[in-house]
């Protein structure tokens, strides 16, 4: 049986079969078959709804030095900023008025934001916006820190695993970081009841199809509620400045594969995908994605959160970003919705109908 048919039937493959499947990137028939099935599954669990998450990039200070990242601590040319608590709350206020019901606080690993400061910010956001979900994306912390944020009200956590292969992880990160710790963080977050997002860059330097097979095996084992993937894009102040960017075609192929692997997963059409192709996010939706993450950060800081070169949406106000995305999503037959958009399994659980399979329709 062809690997794509086997994936559609079993929702997983062996390492060898994944490699065989990824060798077919570029094959039109396989790509279309995977996308068709991915869209069918996404419609089954989420209808034509596309969920929004308002992204607040609240600090670009970082103590880490991931080799691919424009805001890594070692980049002396990065112009650093951090938002005050008031500025963060202003972003939420603006976002709430625009209809956002999920806020994502993302930043580098900035020692200024101690656990006490984070807890204060989380509690204040949850107090002012009890009907909103709060997602954190602030890197690797101890179990105790994650526990405190969760108790303060954080609902979700995004921590891309970056690559599930040890050798590849070493090519992308300095000695003091480890894949084992990154994975442990993800399991800690899950055990604390967070809705968890993992993920990786497509086409990061040194990535092979064997590495991607490891990513699939790891994702199936972890079963995250969200998977963020986007093409690697070089940044001029990193050692990977002259490396080629990841391909849009392969990212779309992988979005479909991940939708089939984890049918109920929340899958963003990322800004990196939109940066590589003006129609990238629309193509992402057509490949099985169902989330977009417009920027709510203050316009004055947006260019400074420069993870890679030529990042889009750094000039617009939040309202323009939302308006633009709303039109783009509608142009391919979907609707941007304001709900907090929990993963399908959580929606079911909230509605206390454990046997129900048709989540979006009631």
Q: How many CB atoms lie within 10 A of CB 226?
A: 22
* Per-residue contact flags (x/-) with ligand FES for residues 105 to 144, judged by CB under 6 A: ---xx-----------------------------------
Chosen residue from 51, 232, 253, 334 binding ligand SAM by CB under 6 A: 232
Q: How many CB atoms lie within 10 A of CB 109?
A: 16
Q: Which residue has the tokens 């040194």?
A: 206
The answer to whether 108 contacts ligand SAM (rule: CB under 6 A) is yes
Site for ligand FES in 42-81 (CB under 6 A): 62, 64, 66, 69, 71-72
Question: Which ranges of 99-160 does DSSP label H, i.e. alpha helix?
Answer: 115-128, 143-152
CA distance 52 to 338: 7
Residue 141 contact among ligand FES, ligand SAM, none, beta carbon within 5 to 8 Å by kind = none
Counting residues that bind ligand SAM (by CB under 6 A) gives: 19
Which of 4, 8, 41, 10 minimizes the C-alpha distance to 25? Answer: 4
Scanning 115-123, 145-153, 184-192, 228-236 for contacts with ligand SAM by CB under 6 A, the matching segment is: 228-236
CA distance 100 to 92: 8
Least gap, CB of 134 to ligand SAM (angstroms):
15
Least gap, CB of 71 to ligand FES (angstroms):
5
Which of 138, 152, 165, 222 minimizes the C-alpha distance to 188? Answer: 222
The answer to whether 250 contacts ligand SAM (rule: CB under 6 A) is no
Least gap, CB of 6 to ligand SAM (angstroms):
29
How far, CA to CA in Å, does 324 sit from each of 261, 267, 292? 30, 20, 11
Choose between 177 and 319: whose C-beta lies nearer to ligand FES: 177
Residue 235 contact among ligand FES, ligand SAM, none, beta carbon within 5 to 8 Å by kind = ligand SAM
Chosen residue from 38, 152, 159, 198 binding ligand SAM by CB under 6 A: 159
Which of 49, 149, 12, 5 minimizes the C-alpha distance to 360? Answer: 49
CA distance 185 to 266: 20
Contacts of 337 (CB under 8 A, 6+ apart): 49, 50, 51, 52
Scanning 32-40, 92-100, 227-235, 249-257 for contacts with ligand SAM by CB under 6 A, the matching segment is: 227-235
Chosen residue from 137, 165, 271, 326 binding ligand SAM by CB under 6 A: 137
- As given in the structure block, the two tokens for residue 18 are 């994944």
Q: Interface with ligand FES by CB under 6 A: which residues?
A: 62, 64, 66, 69, 71-72, 108-109
Q: What is the contact surface with ligand SAM in residues (CB under 6 A)?
A: 68-69, 106, 108-109, 137-139, 159-160, 162, 201, 230, 232-233, 235, 272, 307-308
């Amino acid at each position: 049986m062809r690997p794509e048919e086997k994936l559609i039937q079993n929702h997983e493959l062996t390492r060898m079969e994944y490699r065989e499947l990824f060798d077919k990137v570029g094959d039109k028939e396989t790509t279309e078959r995977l996308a068709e099935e991915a869209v069918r599954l996404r419609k089954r669990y989420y209808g034509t709804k596309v969920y929004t998450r308002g992204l607040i990039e609240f600090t670009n200070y970082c103590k880490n030095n991931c080799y691919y990242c424009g805001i890594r601590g070692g980049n002396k040319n990065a112009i650093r900023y951090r938002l005050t608590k008031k500025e963060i709350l202003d972003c939420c206020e603006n976002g709430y008025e625009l209809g956002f019901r999920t806020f994502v606080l993302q930043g580098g690993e900035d020692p200024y934001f101690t656990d006490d400061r984070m807890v204060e910010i989380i509690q204040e956001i949850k107090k002012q916006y009890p009907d909103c979900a709060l997602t954190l994306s602030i890197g690797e912390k101890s179990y105790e820190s994650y526990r405190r944020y969760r108790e303060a009200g954080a609902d979700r956590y995004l921590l891309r695993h970056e690559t599930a292969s040890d050798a590849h992880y070493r090519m992308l990160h300095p000695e003091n970081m480890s894949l084992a710790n990154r994975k442990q963080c993800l399991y800690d977050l899950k055990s604390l009841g967070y809705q968890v997002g993992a993920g990786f860059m497509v086409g990061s330097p040194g990535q092979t199809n064997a590495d991607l097979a490891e990513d699939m095996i790891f994702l199936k084992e972890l079963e995250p509620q969200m998977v963020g993937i986007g093409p690697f894009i070089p940044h001029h102040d990193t050692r990977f400045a002259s490396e080629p960017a990841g391909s849009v075609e392969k990212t779309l192929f992988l979005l479909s594969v991940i939708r089939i692997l984890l049918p109920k997963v929340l899958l963003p059409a990322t800004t990196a995908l939109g940066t590589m192709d003006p129609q990238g996010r629309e193509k992402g939706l057509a490949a099985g994605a169902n989330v977009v993450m417009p920027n709510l950060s203050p316009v004055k800081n947006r260019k400074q959160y420069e993870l890679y070169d030529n990042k889009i949406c750094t000039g617009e106000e939040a309202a323009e970003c939302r308006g633009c995305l709303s039109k783009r999503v509608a142009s391919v037959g979907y609707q941007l919705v304001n709900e907090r958009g929990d993963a399908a399994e959580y929606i079911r659980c909230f509605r206390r109908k454990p046997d129900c399979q048709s989540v979006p329709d009631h």
